[in-house]
Chain A
Amino acid sequence: MAVINLMKRQIECKIVFYGPGRSGKTTNLEYIHKAFKKQVAGKMISIDTEGDRTLFFDFLPLGIGKVKGCDVRVQLYTVPGQVKYSSTRELVLKGVDGVVFVADSLKVRREKNFISLKDLHANLKKQGLNILKIPLVLQYNKRDLQKKGLPIMSVDRMNKELNRQLKAPFFSASALTGEGVGATLTQTMKLTLQHLHKEFQWSKK
Chain B
Amino acid sequence: MNSDKPLKGNLSFLGLGELLQLLGSGGSTGIIKLTNIYTDNPGMIYLVDGNPVNAECGEMKGIEALNSFFGWMDAEFEFLNEDVSTERLIKKNRMEIILDGLRMVDDGIIEKIGKASPPKKSNLVASDSSKLPVIKGPLIDYAYVLDEEEFQDGKEIVIQEKYGNWFWVILSGTVEVVLFTPAGNASIVRLTDGAFIGSIGSLIQKGKVRSASIVAVGRVQLGILDHDRLFRELAGLSEKFQGILVSFDNRLRQITSICTDAIFNKVELQTGLGEFKPFGNDDKEDNRVYKIINGEALVVRNLDKKFLRLCELKKDDIIGYIPFLSSPHEPHSASVYASDDFETEEIDLRDIKEEYDQMTDTFKNMIQHTSTSISVTTGRVVDLVKKSSTPQ
Contact status A12-B25, CB under 8 Å: yes
Q: Taking A43-B93, A50-B107 as contacts, is the C-beta distance between A3 and B171 under 8 angstroms?
A: no
Q: Taking A5-B25, A85-B103, A87-B105 as contacts, is the C-beta distance between A45 and B93 under 8 angstroms?
A: yes
Complex: A91 Cα to B140 Cα, angstroms: 26
Most buried by A among B95, B106, B141: B106
Contact status B26-A91, CB under 8 Å: no
Q: Hey, which bits of chain B sit against chain A, CB under 8 A?
A: 15, 17-18, 25-27, 70, 93, 95-96, 98-100, 102-103, 105-107, 119-120, 122, 138-143, 171-172, 193-194, 221, 361
Q: Taking A43-B93, A114-B142, A164-B172 as contacts, is the C-beta distance between A54 and B99 under 8 angstroms?
A: yes
Complex: A100 Cα to B105 Cα, angstroms: 26
Complex: A87 Cα to B98 Cα, angstroms: 11
5 shortest interchain CB distances as A-B pairs: A87-B102, A91-B17, A85-B106, A88-B102, A45-B96
Q: Write out the residue numbers on chain B whose beta carbons fall within 8 Å of the beta carbon of A5.
A: 25-26
Q: Measured between C-beta atoms, what is the minimum distance from A184 to chain B in Å?
A: 22
Q: Measured between C-beta atoms, what is the minimum distance from B199 to chain A in Å?
A: 23
- The answer to the question of A84 belonging to the interface, with a C-beta cut-off of 8 Å to chain B, is yes
Q: Taking A91-B98, A164-B172 as contacts, is the C-beta distance between A3 and B25 under 8 angstroms?
A: yes
Q: Write out the residue numbers on chain B whose beta carbons fall within 8 Å of the beta carbon of A12.
A: 25
Complex: A58 Cα to B361 Cα, angstroms: 36
Complex: A50 Cα to B42 Cα, angstroms: 32
Most buried by A among B18, B107, B138, B139: B139
Q: Measured between C-beta atoms, what is the minimum distance from B377 to chain A in Å?
A: 25
A77-117 contacts to B, CB under 8 A, are 80, 84-88, 90-92, 94, 110-111, 114-115, 117
Q: What is the interface of chain B mostly: helix, strand, loop, or mixed?
A: mixed
Q: Write out the residue numbers on chain A whose beta carbons fall within 8 Å of the beta carbon of B142.
A: 110, 114, 161-162
Contact status A114-B143, CB under 8 Å: yes
- The answer to the question of A131 belonging to the interface, with a C-beta cut-off of 8 Å to chain B, is yes
- The answer to the question of A140 belonging to the interface, with a C-beta cut-off of 8 Å to chain B, is no
Contact status B27-A87, CB under 8 Å: no
Q: What is the interface of chain A mostly: helix, strand, loop, or mixed?
A: mixed
Contact status A88-B139, CB under 8 Å: no
Complex: A42 Cα to B95 Cα, angstroms: 11
Contact status A86-B25, CB under 8 Å: no
From B122, which residue of chain A is reached at the shortest CB distance?
Answer: A125
Q: Measured between C-beta atoms, what is the minimum distance from A76 to chain B in Å?
A: 11
Complex: A88 Cα to B95 Cα, angstroms: 12
Contact status A84-B107, CB under 8 Å: yes
Contact status B140-A88, CB under 8 Å: no
15 contacts between A and B (CB under 8 A): A7-B27, A42-B93, A47-B100, A47-B103, A48-B103, A85-B106, A87-B17, A87-B103, A87-B105, A90-B15, A92-B99, A117-B139, A118-B141, A162-B142, A165-B194
- The answer to the question of A121 belonging to the interface, with a C-beta cut-off of 8 Å to chain B, is yes
Q: Measured between C-beta atoms, what is the minimum distance from B303 to chain A in Å?
A: 34
Q: Measured between C-beta atoms, what is the minimum distance from A165 to chain B in Å?
A: 6
Chain A: interface residue total (CB-CB under 8 A): 37
Q: Write out the residue numbers on chain A whose beta carbons fall within 8 Å of the beta carbon of B103.
A: 47-49, 54, 80, 85, 87-88
Complex: A111 Cα to B139 Cα, angstroms: 14
Complex: A117 Cα to B138 Cα, angstroms: 12
Q: Measured between C-beta atoms, what is the minimum distance from A158 to chain B in Å?
A: 10
Q: Write out the residue numbers on chain A whose beta carbons fall within 8 Å of the beta carbon of B361.
A: 118
Q: Measured between C-beta atoms, what is the minimum distance from A44 to chain B in Å?
A: 10
Q: Write out the residue numbers on chain A whose beta carbons fall within 8 Å of the beta carbon of B140.
A: 165
Complex: A177 Cα to B387 Cα, angstroms: 66
- The answer to the question of A56 belonging to the interface, with a C-beta cut-off of 8 Å to chain B, is yes
Complex: A161 Cα to B142 Cα, angstroms: 7
A41-83 CB mask vs B (1 if < 8 Å, else 0) is 0110101111000101000000000000000000000001000
From B105, which residue of chain A is reached at the shortest CB distance?
Answer: A87
Contact status B95-A164, CB under 8 Å: no
Complex: A3 Cα to B27 Cα, angstroms: 14
Q: Measured between C-beta atoms, what is the minimum distance from A52 to chain B in Å?
A: 12
Q: Measured between C-beta atoms, what is the minimum distance from B21 to chain A in Å?
A: 8
Contact status B141-A86, CB under 8 Å: no
Contact status B98-A165, CB under 8 Å: no
Q: Measured between C-beta atoms, what is the minimum distance from A161 to chain B in Å?
A: 5
Q: Measured between C-beta atoms, what is the minimum distance from B330 to chain A in Å?
A: 28
Q: Measured between C-beta atoms, what is the minimum distance from A18 to chain B in Å?
A: 14
Q: Write out the residue numbers on chain B whose beta carbons fall within 8 Å of the beta carbon of A84.
A: 106-107
